[in-house]
Amino acid sequence: MSDLSAFPITTRWPAKHPDRIQLYSLPTPNGVKVSIMLEETGLPYEPHLIDIMKNETWGPAFLSLNPNGKIPAIIDPNGPGGKPLGLFESGAILLYLAEKTGRFLPADPARRYETIQWVFFQMASIGPMFGQVGFFHKFAGKDYEDKRPRDRYVAESKRLLGVIESRLKGRDFIMDEYSIADISMLGWVRNLVGFYGAGELVDYASLKLVPAWLERCLERPAVKKGLEIPKRP
């Protein structure tokens, strides 16, 4: 049996199956990247719901694994060299799981780096910009009288959707074949037009390829399941 006692987070969220990957997450656009990837690869894992509304990521137990206080994070009891490995940052976890399984990341070096660049594009641009639209359109920012901040992020989000639209010309997925690039982006696009209700703001209806791509992604059984993990109370 794997010994995870070196990770204080397992005291707060005990592992019933310490031989499995431990996932600490919530089904947000960032969180579902990892649950979808775990479902796609078939790796055995144990999910733990981290309630960000109760500030659970800012407690000492969670901070011991991710000092940045954000979900998702994982512990792999069978990391490199057979030793347990803790990881945070969804993009890093996607890369790790892709390399661990040899799936959803091209083996050809050039295409591998091309895929990684699109994951970085999501991490650096799509996530931050779409998240700001959510704040200023749906959450506390919606009450701000000055709409210039919202409009700035809306304009940038429209531009980013245009980048994806252009990339998908002649392709079903970001890298032709389904990859971690798609997994990194699909939850954010889904949230932007769904949960955030910003479809009209970003003129989503004018796009042709992005909506079709999103539907292809959402039809995958692993995506359907991963979007609901960990289960909310």
Q: Which of 184, 41, 34, 181 is nearest to 114 (CA)?
A: 181
Summarize pLDDT for 164-204 with one digit per residue, the tens: 999 999 999 999 999 999 999 999 999 999 999 999 999 99
pLDDT digits (tens, 9 = 90+) for 122-131: 999 999 999 9
Q: What is the pLDDT of residue 233?
A: 76
The H or E element that residue 74 is part of is strand 73-76
pLDDT digits (tens, 9 = 90+) for 46-81: 999 999 999 999 999 999 999 999 999 999 999 999
In order of their start, the domains of the chain are 9-103 (3.40.30.10), 109-221 (1.20.1050.10)
pTM over 0.85: yes
Alpha helix (H) residue ranges in the chain: 9-12, 31-41, 60-63, 90-101, 109-121, 127-137, 148-167, 180-193, 209-218, 221-226
Closest to 127 measured CA to CA, from 65, 64, 208, 72:
72
d(CA 101, CA 113): 17
